[in-house]
Structure 1
Amino acid sequence: MIRFGYADTRFGQIHYASCGAGEPVLLLHQTPRSWDEYREVLPLLGRTRRAIAMDTLGFGNSAPPPRHSIEAYAGGVLALMDALGLAEAAVAGHHTGGVVAVEVAASAPERVSRLVLSSTPMVDHEGRLRRRERPPIDAVRELPDGSHLAGLWHNRAPYYPWRLLNRYVRDALAVLPGVERGHEAVAGYRMEERVGLIRCPVLLVGAAGDPFAFPELDRLAARLPGSARAVIEDGMIPLEHQAAEFAAIVAGFLRS
């Protein structure tokens, strides 16, 4: 059974969903999603541990951050851990969530036992330049005829099975007009200065059908020598599409 809660923190209330009991694993979603990205994963990981999927500050039902930056999002992760009494946890992040997970592990290495980076970009100087030149990913203009709903749908339609698009659109609508803020936070992050501070075992998970993140897997691995690697051959951008295989890979890594 998935249970829901709100934790009181110095940022305001942070919303989370959890399943199971035992050693904790904290799950961080991509932009502009919510805990719902891990709806299928939670019961699978919850069989053997306490799986917790949070809404990043400023997304889902969590309080807004003081500013939209990877550092602020990571501060929210640590604040939730404090509120839940978690001295240490494994942390797994997907896309933007992976970048946030890097900052959590770099800023508080004593609190992250293991790190899973799923479809996580390497945001160094080259990555920042590429993002500066790239058009917005999800931005739409809100219009009285509601056509912006179709705009959100069509922005991701080439990369999502259509049955998953309803969940993405719902989460995106919840943060309009700030749907790009998470992407902007990633584009401004100096990841090359932080990855070297990670001290725990790391697993890199690539989704072969992700045209944006998968080509960066080797670049990230080069910055994290000694990291393990797993590839989901039929994986795509939405984590829900590969939930069962992702959960099995993460569970195996956490057991090892």
Structure 2
Amino acid sequence: MNQPIKKAFLDTEDGQIFYRIGGEGEPLVLLHMTPRSSDEFKELMAILAPKYRVIAMDLMGLGNSDQPPREYSISDYAKTVILLLDELGIEKCSILGSLTGGYVAGEVAVSYSDRLHKLILCNVHGFDAEEAEKLGKGYREGFTIKEDGSHLMERWLVRIDFVGVELNHRFVLDDLKTFGRPIYTRLAVSKYCVSAQERFKLIQCPTLVCTGTKALEPLEKYGLAKAENQGWLSEAIPHSQAVKIEGGTICMINQMPEEISTVVMDFLDKK
């Protein structure tokens, strides 16, 4: 039986947070990449909802959540996860974080370890200092709306070669919601990732590191990440398990939901 996925908002002192929720069973929080939204988990939630209580939130400043009134740090984003758990009366949960969401999920595991059962880090790439600077460059001003509309085509062409038409349309819709304002999640990652390895050494809960074999390609293309910087998670979390998704791209949660759901359920159900 299909479990309906409902949509709602959480009121906070910094604005409203949009989230999707559905299903029953053990709670699983899903945190998306930048500049996506909870739409990244649309397919995955439908598969997981019959077995788990799945909750996907739009990080503040992205999707349908409000832009926070100040620049948010990864720690600030982690606090919003706890606010949502408190609102829903959830004492403990597992968390799956994709890229940006993975950094936030890791910080939740460190700062609020008593609230977490298990942690899944999906395509959480490592960046050196030079890459981190590139990652944050330009995002303090955000994307610019252009009078001739050329900004629309620019965003369309960024990923079309590896995501396909339908998914690219969904990406662009999320892109457009970030125009004309700073993208705080990208700035937060650029500042946090340099010290993330030391921070993640404090993670004690069972952890799965899930990586697509093709996920690094677009970041390498733009000089944002190098292959030699990608061993940091296994070094920081030596007790973690690692799974490679053959052919998985940076968008594999949308593109390969059946494969991802199998990996997720196998890990969550393992005692």
- How does the TM-score come out when normalised to structure 2? 0.87
Q: Which amino acid aligns with 2:248?
A: G
Match of 1:130 in 2: 131
Task: Look up the match of 2:207.
Answer: 202
Q: Any gaps of 5 or more consecutive residues in structure 2?
A: 220-224
1:231 offset after TM fit, Å? 1.0
Aligned counterpart, 1:90: 94
The verdict on how the C-alpha distance between 1:149 and 1:165 changes in structure 2, with shifts beyond 3 A counting, is same
Worse-superposed segment, 3-12 or 189-198: 3-12
Q: Cα–Cα, structure 1 residues 116 and 187, in superposed 2: closer, same or farther, change >3 Å?
A: same
Return the alpha-carbon distance in structure 1 between the equivalents of residues 89 and 74 of structure 2.
23
CA-CA distance at 1:196 after TM superposition: 1.7
Please give the alpha-carbon distance, in whole angstroms, between the structure 1 residues aligned to 2:242 and 2:79. 27
Counterpart of 1:70 in structure 2 is 74
Give the 3-state SS of the residue equivalent to 2:201 in structure 1.
helix
Aligned length: 253
- Flag the 1:12–1:181 CA change in 2: closer, same or farther, 3 A: closer
Instruction: Judge conservation of contact 1:33–1:172 (CA < 8 Å) in 2.
Output: yes
Corresponding residue for residue 53 of structure 2: 50
Q: Look up the match of 2:163.
A: 160
SS of 2:256 mapped into structure 1? helix
Structure-1 separation of matches of 2:92 and 2:245: 28
The answer as to whether partners of 2:144 and 2:179 remain within 8 angstroms in 1 is no
CA distance in 2, matches of 1:24, 1:134: 32
> Within 1, Cα distance between the matches of 2:17 and 2:135?
31
Q: Secondary structure at the match of 1:157?
A: helix
Contact between 1:7 and 1:84, CA under 8 Å: does it hold in 2? Answer: no
The structural deviation recorded for 1:162 is: 2.9
| Equivalent in the alignment of 2:235 | 222
Which residue matches 2:111? 107
Q: Deviations over 1:81-140 (max 9, x none)?
A: 1111111110000011111111111110111110000000235xxx23222146859864
The corresponding residue for 1:17 is 20
Q: TM-score scaled to structure 1, two decimals?
A: 0.91
Q: Is the 8 A contact 2:135 2:190 kept in 1?
A: no
For residues 201-229 of structure 1, the C-alpha deviation after alignment (integer angstroms, 9 at most, x for no partner) is: 00000011112379354221111101011
